[in-house]
């Protein structure tokens, strides 16, 4: 390809030649016209010459015709045969100047005719070739000079002319030449510039065109690729215009839908959509393209051959550079197989769920069927144990109770574990009194620890909050599991429960609990596996100790649900410590309703704590120090008497003696007897703390003037109540009164009326005896109807309502009761139910119950619930 300069030269040459030819033609016509004009002028001015009377055609006429013809015809001839040549131009220049000379001559040298010369030179400049001016100028110069000398009349119209005149003419001609040459050169420069500009433009154009060609080819290749891909793709592909009308569809679409490409055009594709899905699909499609958003829809199509397929169509807007949607490109996938698999999976899941439901129902039924009779066994055995029995009878009944209890534990464990496994356990998030909860646990455990002579110690770090939010029942369950194991696997020594704060924030407190025993311990290799279900450290011990191997597995899951972790530290033969952490919500003090404590000033009151167990001494010390009492700790009866003597001598007698019952050498009773023998110790009231409640102890206490008698572990509030009651009894030894006990404390406070709605006569009797034992006034109703009738007649402080009763069940009865009460009243109602499945509690609460107790009813749980729900001060 030529460079820009070469191409410019080419263009320049072509233009120049064009100009030369055009100007040649111009002069050819001009010269022809001049010739005619010269002849006309000759005829007009002097057609004839006269010599006397005779005349003949004037020489001028001949000159005009012949000479003019000769001058003009050769250049015209050259124009025709050699247009654009230098020879032609120069001949024309000479011819034109000769024509001018002839015209001047014909007009007799008229000065006006001289202007023809200037005009002709100007015309010659049209060539833009200054060289043609040279022969023209030479012709003019020579003509003027020769004729000026020889025929001045012919050129100047005068007979004589100064030779300077020729020079003057020549000067004017040269002057014009200078102007014209300059203009010619300028014209050539312009021509060059134009040529160069055009050459650049052409090259630019050329490269642009080249690019267009390349791009077009690339586009064609890409389109070809797309077509190939689209044709071989296993999914249907379609394209639409900006208004969402379908245009292109690939072969797969045609195979998939059974619809031809032409039939799918516009909205034709919707014809194969299943009639039931069509409206929804079209609406989704319209909405998508109107909003310019993605379209994604699963729908059925009915192919022309009648078969049904499932499609998943997706489409996205394609956009132009300015962001406007130019159409959609979409893909449709045949998902019939997947849908089939989904349907199968769904029905399999439904079947599994149904199976699971029936398993749950079976468990619920089993739970109900087993718990109901056990309730009778446990309750009746407990009551029988409270009566006067021979030693043999007591032994038998205790065996019955232990067996029933362990049967219940096994059932509860299995049920609980299957519930947790099935994810059917929800954690409560209620505010509760942590301290009482923990004491409740130790109290429940005391019955197991004491027969083995184990010390059960409970220690809470001072910074542990009194109340938190969480699930008190589940926390109790974990502690019970761990502590029951500790008691089970410990033959002698102590079991210590500790609670401390692991970490805390404004919202949350993480508590660290531990249960330490002095039992058989766990081999290192078993310390992980025992947390798995049905795993026991040593199966031979299992036979000896019993158990299902589920307790720790359940505890592990529960701890995880409380956001904590569980682990064990143990050295075989030296006991074990189980640790766990659990997270609770922080409760603002104001949120917890608390019974007002009686105001009595215990400040600086002197108290003597007698216990051989150091941990117990520490706990008691901490408790009484919290109440700002002044304590002295001693580890034996003998030391206690010495301390009492010292105090009496210092005239600072002890007002209170808190003494353990079981101590080596001198036990609590002997100590009490020694104290009462000495009048100087009369200021001291004695409260006995025993780990094993033995029948007849009460009588001994009364005889010995012991003012209070409590079974360990002692709840702080209970101890405080006992201390306050005892100190108000003045003077301590004035009269022999029965000692203040846990029961008498309760009996003093409980005179509430309770309605018991229960259809089963055995359960009725069990509950009745438990309630009466605490001094409640109980009315019994055999079903929901009777209960409602009783509630109509009388006001009760609390109702215990069985859920499954004939005629009118508990849930229906409570609904009716709540309807009758409206917003004016609210009688506390606790549901009693033998099924303990997930959802029961929610169902009961939703129906209007205030609380829920699972059968068999345990006295401790029942009493705890009663304490909570019976209005204070009743």
Binding site for ligand ADP (CB under 6 A): 481, 485-486, 489, 517, 519-522, 530, 536-538, 541-542, 547-553, 576
With b for 16 or more beta-carbon neighbours within 10 A and e for fewer, the 559-570 pattern comes to: beebebebebeb
**Residues whose CB falls within 8 Å of the CB of residue 482, separated by 6 or more in sequence, listed in order:** 515, 555, 578, 580
Please, are residues 12 and 187 in contact by the beta-carbon 8 Å criterion? no
Please, are residues 237 and 330 in contact by the beta-carbon 8 Å criterion? yes
- As a whole number of angstroms, the distance between CA 80 and CA 238 comes to 68
User: Which uninterrupted H or E stretch holds 608?
Assistant: strand 606-610
Cis peptide before 526 (omega within 30 of 0): no
- Among candidates 671, 711, 672, which has minimal Cα distance to 691? 711
- Collapse the DSSP code of 397 into the 3-class scheme (helix H, G, I; strand E, B; otherwise coil) and give the result: helix
Per 3-state DSSP, what percentage of the chain is helix, strand, and coil (rounded to 5)?
55, 15, 25
- Among candidates 361, 543, 378, which has minimal Cα distance to 447? 378
Please, are residues 443 and 484 in contact by the beta-carbon 8 Å criterion? no
Please, are residues 742 and 712 in contact by the beta-carbon 8 Å criterion? no
According to DSSP, the β-strands at 576-586 and 508-516 are: antiparallel
Q: Output the smallest distance, CB 522 to ligand ADP, in A.
A: 5
- Measured from the Cβ of residue 686, the count of other Cβ atoms closer than 10 Å reads 28
According to DSSP, the β-strands at 430-433 and 467-470 are: antiparallel
Q: Output the smallest distance, CB 798 to ligand ADP, in A.
A: 35
CB nearer to ligand ADP: give 398 or 538. Answer: 538
- Measured from the Cβ of residue 103, the count of other Cβ atoms closer than 10 Å reads 22
- As a whole number of angstroms, the distance between CA 83 and CA 711 comes to 143
- As a whole number of angstroms, the distance between CA 538 and CA 397 comes to 30
**Residues whose CB falls within 8 Å of the CB of residue 634, separated by 6 or more in sequence, listed in order:** 608, 609, 610, 640, 642, 643
CB nearer to ligand ADP: give 457 or 853. Answer: 457
| DSSP 8-state class, residue 751 | -
Q: Output the smallest distance, CB 572 to ligand ADP, in A.
A: 9
Q: Output the smallest distance, CB 661 to ligand ADP, in A.
A: 26
Give how far the C-alpha of residue 389 lies from the chain's centroid of Cα atoms, to the nearest Å. 67
- Measured from the Cβ of residue 451, the count of other Cβ atoms closer than 10 Å reads 13
Q: Output the smallest distance, CB 454 to ligand ADP, in A.
A: 12
- Residues pairing with 235 in the sheet: none
Please, are residues 844 and 811 in contact by the beta-carbon 8 Å criterion? yes
Q: Output the smallest distance, CB 374 to ligand ADP, in A.
A: 18
Sign of the torsion formed by the C-alpha atoms of 684, 690, 693 and 695: negative
279, 434, 453, 516, 613 from 495: Cα distances, Å: 73, 20, 11, 6, 12
- Among candidates 435, 456, 453, 437, which has minimal Cα distance to 445? 456
- Among candidates 111, 108, 99, which has minimal Cα distance to 33? 99
- As a whole number of angstroms, the distance between CA 438 and CA 594 comes to 17
Q: Left if phi > 0, otherwise alpha if psi is -120 to 50, otherwise beta: which for 737?
A: beta
43, 273, 300, 302, 713 from 276: Cα distances, Å: 108, 8, 9, 10, 72
């Amino acid at each position: 390809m030529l460079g820009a300069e070469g191409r410019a030269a080419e263009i320049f040459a072509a233009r120049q030649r064009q100009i030369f030819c055009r100007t040649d033609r111009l002069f050819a016509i001009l010269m022809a016209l001049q010739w005619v004009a010269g002849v006309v002028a000759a005829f007009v001015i002097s057609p004839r010459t006269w010599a006397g009377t005779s005349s003949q055609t004037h020489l001028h006429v001949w000159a005009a015709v012949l000479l003019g013809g000769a001058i003009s015809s050769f250049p015209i001839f050259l124009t025709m045969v050699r247009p654009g040549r230098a020879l032609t131009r120069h001949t024309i220049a000479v011819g034109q100047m000769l024509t001018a000379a002839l015209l001047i001559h014909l007009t007799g040298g008229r000065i006006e005719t001289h202007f023809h010369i200037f005009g002709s030179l100007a015309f010659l400049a049209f060539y833009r070739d200054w060289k043609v001016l040279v022969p023209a100028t030479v012709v003019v110069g020579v003509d003027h000079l020769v004729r000026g000398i020889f025929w001045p009349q012919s050129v100047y119209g005068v007979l004589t002319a100064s030779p300077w005149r020729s020079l003057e003419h020549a000067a004017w001609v040269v002057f014009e030449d200078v102007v014209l040459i300059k203009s010619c050169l300028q014209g050539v420069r312009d021509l060059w510039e134009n040529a160069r500009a055009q050459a650049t433009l052409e090259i630019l154009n050329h490269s642009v065109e080249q690019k267009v060609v390349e791009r077009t080819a690339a586009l064609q290749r890409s389109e070809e690729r797309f077509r190939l891909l689209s044709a071989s793709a296993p999914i249907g592909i379609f394209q639409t215009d900006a208004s969402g009308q379908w245009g292109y569809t690939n072969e797969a679409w045609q195979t998939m839908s059974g619809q031809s490409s032409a039939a799918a055009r516009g909205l034709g594709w919707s014809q194969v959509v299943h009639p039931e899905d069509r409206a929804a699909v079209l609406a989704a499609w319209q909405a998508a393209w109107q909003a310019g958003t993605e379209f994604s829809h699963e729908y059925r199509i009915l192919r022309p051959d009648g078969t049904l397929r499932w499609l998943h169509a997706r489409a996205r807007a394609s956009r132009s550079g300015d962001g406007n949607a130019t159409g959609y490109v979409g893909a449709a996938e045949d998902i019939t197989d997947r849908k089939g698999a989904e349907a199968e999976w769904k029905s399999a899941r439904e079947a599994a769920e149904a199976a699971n439901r029936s398993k749950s129902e079976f468990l619920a039924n089993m739970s109900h069927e087993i718990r109901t009779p056990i309730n009778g066994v446990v309750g009746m055995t407990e009551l029988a144990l409270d009566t006067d029995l021979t030693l043999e009878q007591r032994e038998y009944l205790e065996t019955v109770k232990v067996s029933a209890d362990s049967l219940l534990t096994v059932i509860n464990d299995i049920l609980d574990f299957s519930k947790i496994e099935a994810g059917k356990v929800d954690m409560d998030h209620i505010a509760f009194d942590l301290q009482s909860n923990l004491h409740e646990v130790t109290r429940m455990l005391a019955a197991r620890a004491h027969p083995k002579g184990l010390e059960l110690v409970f220690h809470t770090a001072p910074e542990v909050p009194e109340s938190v939010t969480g699930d008190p029942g589940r926390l109790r369950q974990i502690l019970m599991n761990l502590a029951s194991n500790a008691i089970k696997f410990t033959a002698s020594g102590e079991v210590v429960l500790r609670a401390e704060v692991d970490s805390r924030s404004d919202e949350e407190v993480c508590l660290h609990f531990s249960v330490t025993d002095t039992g058989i311990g766990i081999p290192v290799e078993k310390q992980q596996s025992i947390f798995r279900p049905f795993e026991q450290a040593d199966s031979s011990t299992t036979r000896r100790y019993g158990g299902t191997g589920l307790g720790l597995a359940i505890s592990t899951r529960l701890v995880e649900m409380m956001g904590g972790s569980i682990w064990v530290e143990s050295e075989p033969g030296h006991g074990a410590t189980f640790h766990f952490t659990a997270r609770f919500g922080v409760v603002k003090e104001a949120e917890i309703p608390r019974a007002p404590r009686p105001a009595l000033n215990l400040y600086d009151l002197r108290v003597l704590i007698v216990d051989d167990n150091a941990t117990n001494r520490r706990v008691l010390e901490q408790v009484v120090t919290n109440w700002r009492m002044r304590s002295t700790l001693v580890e034996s009866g003998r030391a206690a008497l010495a301390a009492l003597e010292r105090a009496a001598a210092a005239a600072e007698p002890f007002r209170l003696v808190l003494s353990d019952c079981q101590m080596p050498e001198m036990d609590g009773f002997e100590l009490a007897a020694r104290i009462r023998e000495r009048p100087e110790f009369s200021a001291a009231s004695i409260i006995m703390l025993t780990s094993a409640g033995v029948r007849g102890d009460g009588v001994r206490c009364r005889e010995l003037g012991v003012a209070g008698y409590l079974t360990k572990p002692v709840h702080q509030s209970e101890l405080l109540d006992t201390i306050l009651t005892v100190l108000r009894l003045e003077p301590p030894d004035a009269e022999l009164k029965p000692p203040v006990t846990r029961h008498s404390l309760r009996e003093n406070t409980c005179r509430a009326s309770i309605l018991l709605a229960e259809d089963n006569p055995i359960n009725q009797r069990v509950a009745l005896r438990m309630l009466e034992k605490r001094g409640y006034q109980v009315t019994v109703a055999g079903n929901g109807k009777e209960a409602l009738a009783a509630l109509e007649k009388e006001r009760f402080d609390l109702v215990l309502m069985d859920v499954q009763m004939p005629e009118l069940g508990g849930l229906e009865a409570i609904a009716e009761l709540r309807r009758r009460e409206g917003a004016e009243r609210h009688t506390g109602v606790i549901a009693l139910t033998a099924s303990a499945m997930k959802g029961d509690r929610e169902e009961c609460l939703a129906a209007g119950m205030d609380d829920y107790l699972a059968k068999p009813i345990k006295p401790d749980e029942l009493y705890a619930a009663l304490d909570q729900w019976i209005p204070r001060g009743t």
